[in-house]
Structure 1
Amino acid sequence: MPSQLDALKAHSLVVADTGDLAVMRRYTPQDATTNPSLILKAFELPDYQPLIDRELQAIAGSDAERSQQVSQAVDVLSVAMGCEIAHLVPGRVSTEVAARLSFDTDASIRKAFELIEQYDKRGVSRERVLIKLASTWEGIRAAEVLEKKGIQCNLTLLFSDAQAQACFDAGVFLVSPFVGRVTDWYKQQTGEDYTPANDPGVRFVRGVCERVDAGGYDTVVMGASFRNTGQVLALAGCPRLTISPALLEELAAAEGPVEPQVRLSGGNGQPAPPLSEADFRWGHNQDAMANDKLAEGIRRFAADQERLEQLIADRLSAR
């Protein structure tokens, strides 16, 4: 009997939510997605040590000031690691624009072009890369521009219907609505434990899928931030699911059939009227969970970015 992971792959495209090369070799995901937290963890992985040493050696020998070297190193290492991942997955690798740019549309666009240029210089075309941006109004506007320039985007930290609708309106290639962080918030507020059948995060992502289907949008929905395999299996049929190494291992070790829980008709519906900025901000404001988790997510990614920069600065100073 096939594993639950293999059975799941019949209904959803599986994406590895990690930068660990060994995990990708073991579970053969279609795509991989990274963020500052995962890149920070990569500094502890043996597979990446030769790459990190090589890239930092080259940067340490430049004439740039140390602060510029650190800033350059973050992008260089993100892209270099992304290229290693691209050699192992047949599909896309997501690379994130720094969280501190989440409210600056122009700076986000510039950074995206810089990242794509670096990928191109290393032989990985833009068709293999998704630029990952926070689902703020400014991030969505940046994605709208980038999509028109042929650079496809992954909008992350998505917690509200307003965020989802604005992404659809902007023609974003892919959105990553979060499951676990939504459920975490409701558990903290209510003290309840949820089953997959009534899990708030699962229900939210199903709702995003239904909204895509009803509006006939081309945007791909990728469920993200899972806390357990029950949440993953409850979203079988969602076009893409990005899953952590621990949960990939559990799914690979478990046998049994997996039935689709999300069924899409093929997107023949009619789009909703586009949201204005005021509509977006008001709609998002009315969702306390979404407000809390978006702000928290940006702060957490920014904090990990700062830790990554400090780690790089320490290594550069030691050379």
Structure 2
Amino acid sequence: MSSATDRFIDAVFDFERAVHAQDPTAQQQAHMELHRLYESATPEEMAQGGKRLAAVLTDVPPGPRANIAVLIGACVEGGADPVACAPGVLANLAKTLDSAQEFAQQWAAADIGELPDPAQDELDEQFFEHFGFLETLSWWTLDDWNRAGLAMLQRAAVRQQFSSTGRDIIRQRHDALGEISGRWDKCLGYALIVLDDEPVIVLHRETGTGYAVRITGIGDNFQLHTLLADALIGGGHIPGEAPAAEAVAMCRDMPGMQLTQGSFNLVAPDGTWIWNEGTPSDIPVVDGTRLLVLDPAPYQRTWPAGRFFPHMLGDLTLERVLTPEETIAWFEQVSPAEDPGTD
């Protein structure tokens, strides 16, 4: 007889058996039980259940497969091994993006108006006949697949195991779909270009100093800005007001957000602004290394400091201060600062 704490696992076992037996009725019943019991599942159950559901994901019929992927993502957020759970979810996400793009292309060719909004429009059964079963289903379930994929990509271990080539395939399909249909998910798009263990050269124009830093898991440039200010201002290397310790911790691993003030302007070597709303991947690569310039802030900026991705741990470490000779050599790659008195 099952205890109150292992009922979720019972439902996982029932779902596995129904999938292997190709029994739609039993599968639907077990699927409903999974959702009913998930909220009361222990971390141990989620750890075991997420891995077992991931193992049968590809055998789940296409209709409920996206929903099971979301449940696997929830299990990962609850403690399931992301490396074990990620491959099937990310492979299916890539296929779904491809099929959703095909749906959008066929819809545009049919010239029948704006693309349907799965969040608001009812699914017309005739779409399956006109545009294909998998294509239509992919269009309607894409948000679930994005959500499940995002749960995986927020884990550093997944990004390390899942090659940059694999992420590039998903990114290219995601970008192509966005270009054709306007359906581009910002969170997924940012997660696919997160940099890990990435060296960056940072030049502070006012003091003429340079620094070698290394970044990992930083979701946007607001987070980067805060961590840079902590390392360089808080570390006593450049003048300015350092962010509060709580704001810095929230950009690394502590839950929550705290209002903070900008310390400088992020600039590319050619003088182009690198917006806080962007990502560290916007920093150009010069001679094989990303090169960032810090200029005086043109106006006061404040924002809630924290992590763009709540489940992604971020870090920035100052590896060393560059020698004067190294700094001069890097500054030779940088355009002169614009004169604020000129138009």
Structure-1-length-normalised TM-score: 0.28
Structure-2-length-normalised TM-score: 0.27
The structure whose Rg is larger is: 2
The structure, 1 or 2, with the larger RCO (C-alpha pairs under 8 Å, 6+ apart) is 1
